[in-house]
Amino acid sequence: MTSLQQSAWQVLQCRDPDEKIRLAQQVAEQWQAGELSLTASQAVDRLPIPGRPDQPTLVSPQKMPRRSMNSQAGRNALIHAVTHIEFNAINLAWDAVYRFADMPKDFYSDWISVGLDEGRHFLMLRDYLRDNGSDYGELQAHNGLWEMAFKTDHDVLTRMALVPRVLEARGLDVTPGMLTKLESAGDTRAVEHLQLILREEIGHVRIGSRWYHYCCEQRGVEPQSHFRELVKTYMSGLPRGPLNIEARLMAGFEEDELAYLQEMSQ
């Protein structure tokens, strides 16, 4: 029987977005049918860069230009940035499936489901770009999300704490402001896309919270104080607020965690 780990590695290594998403769907169907084994079939490799197309060119976040959403070019730039995040999120989900052994079966089912959602988001946003005279890869992008994935590839607890609950949760905070600007520009299609993504990303962050708390319980670690320590250790600073308190509570954050994050983001 083929291992889930080996199949997830194939998804991760695939460079073409369409083929990556097609392969992910195939693996998900095999997993649901009970055709994949949880027995690891290979040593786990570090992955500085997962499978990705040659474009977009990656630059530091500080070099990403700011553009007004009053023009289509500016809105394309925003949607391109979100499209790249969604592509990275596909790889993040499948890296969790590939990398972290000896977790409950539901862990793998959860992250496979997240990976499928992220693929659907990617295709939806890429269609928007193509219908508005652009395409994924035409603009620059940054790699901050995957860089943190690489830093946390040694430990599932650290990964669950910092990638879903810090970096990906940041999308819960900034999306309402994006929606306000897109609504003002009259771009109802972009608004509908980001509203859908926001609703589903709450669930994705909640999955991260679920497995973070599971890992803490397994190790006898107090989750809230440990979360603060991980943020201090791995994060040079948090983006400025405001936080989307309602969305973060729905995503599994505790009140004192949010108070700490608010203080850190001042």
20 contacts 11 by C-beta, under 8 angstroms = yes
* Nearest one of 154, 19, 134 to 87, comparing CA atoms: 19
Going by the DSSP 8-state scheme, the letter that residue 39 receives in this structure is S
The one-letter amino acid code at 230 reads L
pLDDT in tens, 29-79: 999 999 999 988 778 999 999 999 999 999 887 777 777 889 999 999 999
* Nearest one of 132, 248, 119, 242 to 182, comparing CA atoms: 132
Instruction: Specify the pTM.
Output: 0.95
| Cα–Cα distance measured from residue 173 to residue 144, given in angstroms and rounded to the nearest whole number | 17
CA 228 to chain centre: 21
pLDDT in tens, 141-154: 988 889 999 999 99
Q: pLDDT at residue 266 above 80?
A: no
